[in-house]
Structure 1
Amino acid sequence: MASNRPASEAPSVPSRRTEPFAYGGRRPDEGPWEEWNPTEESVRPVRGRHRVAKQRGGGLARSSTVLGVGVIAAVGAGGMASANTGKPPVSIALPDLHGLPAVGALFDGSGHDGPEGSATALSDVTAAQAGAADEADATDATEATGTTAQHASDAGEALRNRIMAQAEQQQNQAEAKTRAATEAAAAAKAARQAEQAAAQAKEEAEARAAAAKKKAEEEARKKAEAARLAALAKQYTLPTSSYTLTSTFGQAGSMWSSGHHTGLDFAAPTGTLIKAVHSGTVTEAGWAGAYGYRTVLTLDDGTELWFCHQSSINVTAGQKVSTGEVIGRVGATGNVTGPHLHLEVHPDGQAAGIDPMAWLQGKGLTP
């Protein structure tokens, strides 16, 4: 390792030194020197923005080059100097310049080891360094551009992903809202259908209850009517027995003066007994023209029963009779074609009679 000679004591007041230094002694334009300890930051050229370049492969070579360039610049300018600052000179140990790749090449390849050669080598090194720095700046700029583009691409992709996520979220919300509305409508429809079904079921139940009630009432009425008829049947009886119904009420024919039959005919042999249908009072008993021998029995409600064409009469007017009591016999008197009992029913004594068949059925009797 080479080392610099220690500098002589500097006076407290700066003054020009006359002793020679380094290569050939002091020149007139040289003047007071300070001791300089070069570092990587002090010799690195400042370009563009103040920044620290990224360390790449070959960093040791670049650092060695910078240090070598600094040493050569100091030596080419006249060697080491010390300023009269009142501080003792500091010995600087320089590395073997031939061991540095860039500086060794300057000494071994160029063949210039004097001040002019050092200046030329310094110029070449400076140019090479400038080119390398430019190349590094260009590389950094390219990398920065690529990084910026990559960041922009990443930012765009992130923005796109956010937009897509928001769109998907909005779509999901819209679908959820639509689904909720559909479910609500379906629930409302189901509720309405349930209400309608319940109302219909209620109406049907009420209708069935009403029908059942009506049926029960009808059955009760029929039972009551049957009971009433049974009771009446005990109070009423048919006018004769061993008979055959021949002519009914309202039957048309020329044999009747009114043009139709006005009663109900019970054909039976002459002399067959005739009975009182119900208790009442005999109001007439005698001959009655086309009716032959006739008996009129007036019931308690005012209804008149006419028993006509009798062969004989067994009661007189004003006589009270009870149900089933014999009042005469079947005959063929009056306007007849054969022996039979002609029965007529006149409510409240009216001249126009009603159907004896229906009246007898109303009393629980079946002719």
Structure 2
Amino acid sequence: MASNNPAPQALYVPNDNDSFGFGGDGGGETWDEWNPTEDSVRPVRGRHRVAKQRGGLARSSTVLGVGVIAAVGAGGIATAEGKAPVSISLPDLPASVTDHLPEAIKADIAPDSSDTETNAAPLSTSGLTTAASGQGTTDAGETLRARILQQAEQQQAGADAEAKALAQKAAADKAAAEAKAKQDAAAKKEAAAKKKAAEEAAKKAEAERLAKLAASYSLPVSSYTLTSHFGDAGSMWSSGYHTGLDFAAPTGTPIKAVHSGTVKSAGWSGSYGYRTVLTLDDGTELWFCHQSSLNVSAGQKVTTGDVIGRVGATGNVTGPHLHLEVHPSGGDAIDPMAWLQARGINP
């Protein structure tokens, strides 16, 4: 037949008359003195050190609890030899409990500053990375500091790289500008040299052209004196100014064809006296006036240097001379001096 288990006995609650083995007037039971030693009590990692009770069970629930915890801790350490120790931290006991404990127990369960400093651990592991934990880092603040320093170094490295890139770009731009300046200077110098060479070539070509023309042009008389020029003003000319170039020479001096052409007319022409008009291939007309005699007739072809008449003083004159006029395309007269010089002839 089944029977009910007996009700558990209530733990003994100490009263004011209990002396816990240290004597007293309460008449309570006498306990053996608890004198913990290094061999009997092992320090437990954590915030508090708890001593192991060597005597019988204490009547106080608090002492029993502390002893059981110490025994469990000691047993755990004993069975975990060769393994990594496990930290055990106990909360502070309330004053209502510690006030009833003997001074020796109070001193034993008091916080140990050396243990606290030695086994101090960060209150939080927030911010720890897997790599930091693998390297043994447990301080989140130190990890954060290291990360901030690493980011600062990375930012500084980036700033240095950017500054270096800007310096390299500035150097490249400067080198490019200098190269362009040298290139422009060389191009300018080359252009100037080409221009000078072209001018010299043009001068040479013009000289060759004039030389060639000079070979095909000649002065109308060989020995002469220039007495009147184109544009000279005077009442002796009907137009009020001289329209030709006068070559003073003795009467009978041969007059030559300045250039090849066809005789347009040859005969008397009023104030011009005896005149020969020679038409060149480009249509220019040359007038040879005041001749004493004519050697050609209209329609006749002549070449440079052919004698077409003689110097005289016929017409409106003050002395023997050849009056030469130039009429481009048969139009108004121009300066014979400039026309002859343009063809390499310098009267």
Q: SS where residue 209 of structure 2 aligns?
A: helix
Partner of 2:343 in structure 1?
363
Partner amino acid, structure 2, of 1:132: A
Q: Which position in structure 1 is the counterpart of 2:54?
A: 43
Question: Given the alignment of the two structures, is residue 275 of structure 1 paired with residue 256 of structure 2, yes or no?
Answer: yes
Higher RCO structure (Cα 8 Å, ≥6 apart) = 1
Counterparts of 2:55 and 2:102, CA distance in 1:
10
Instruction: Name the CA distance, whole Å, in 2 between partners of 1:235 and 1:179.
Output: 82
Q: Which amino acid aligns with 1:354?
A: I
Matched, 1:134 2:106: yes
The one-letter code matched in structure 2 to 1:238 is L
Please name the residue that 1:8 is paired with. Answer: none
For residues 160 and 245 of structure 1, do their structure 2 counterparts lie closer, same or farther at Cα, with a shift above 3 Å needed? farther
What is the match of residue 292 of structure 1?
A: 273
Aligned residues: percent identity?
A: 58
Cα offsets for 1:299-336 (capped at 9, x unmatched): 34432211122344344444443322333333343333
Considering fraction of residues, name the structure with more helix.
1
Q: How does 1:150-299 map to 2 (within 5 A)?
A: 161-195=142-176, 198=179, 205=186, 208-299=189-280
1:352 pairs with 2:314: no
SS in 2 for 1:283: strand
CA contact under 8 A between 2:122 and 2:140: conserved in structure 1?
A: no
2: CA distance, partners of 1:335 / 1:44: 174
Runs (5+) with no aligned partner, structure 1: 1-38, 53-128
Cα–Cα, structure 1 residues 167 and 248, in superposed 2: closer, same or farther, change >3 Å? farther
Pairwise CA distance, 1:344: 1.0
Q: Is the 8 A contact 2:294 2:309 kept in 1?
A: yes
Q: What's the secondary structure of 2:148's corresponding residue?
A: helix
* Deviation string, structure 1 residues 133-168 (Cα, Å, up to 9, x no partner): 432333x444445556x6569x9x965554444333
Aligned residue for 2:168, secondary structure, equals helix
Q: How far apart are the structure 1 equivalents of 2:235 and 2:163?
A: 85
Which whole-Å CA distance do the structure 2 matches of 1:283 and 1:172 have between them? 105
| Aligned residue among 284, 303, 322 for 1:322 | 303
1:342 maps to: 323
Q: Which has the larger radius of gyration?
A: 1
Kindly report which structure 2 residues correspond to 1:70-109, keeping only aligned pairs within 5 A, or say none: none
Q: C-alpha displacement at 1:185, in angstroms?
A: 3.4
Query: For the Cα contact (< 8 Å) 2:122–2:139, is it kept in 1?
Result: no
State which of 261, 271, 288 in structure 2 corresponds to 1:307.
288
Question: Aligned AA for 1:229?
Answer: L
Q: TM-score of the superposition, structure 1-length normalised? A: 0.54
Q: Deviations over 1:209-262 (max 9, x none)?
A: 555445444444433333232222222111123333343334444443223332
CA contact under 8 A between 2:214 and 2:344: conserved in structure 1?
yes
CA change 1:250–1:196 in 2 (3 A) is farther
Distance in 1 separating the partners of 2:164 and 2:113 = 59
Counterpart-to-counterpart distance in 2, 1:142 and 1:186? 58
Superposition pairs for residues 12-31 of structure 1, below 5 Å?
none
Q: For structure 1, which segment, 191-200 or 164-173, has the greater mean C-alpha deviation from structure 2 after superposition?
A: 191-200
Shift in alpha-carbon separation, 1:246–1:196, aligned structure 2, 3 A: farther
- Give the whole-Å Cα distance in 1 for the aligned partners of 2:193 and 2:114: 99
- Residue identity opposite 1:259 in structure 2: G
Q: CA 1:190 to 1:252, structure 2 compared with 1: closer, same or farther past 3 Å?
A: farther
Query: Residue type of the partner of 1:247?
Result: S
Q: Which runs of 5+ in 2 are unaligned?
A: 1-38, 41-51, 75-100, 126-137
In the aligned structure 1, how far is the partner of 2:118 from the partner of 2:214?
124
| Structure 1 residues 305 and 159: CA distance shift in structure 2, 3 A | same
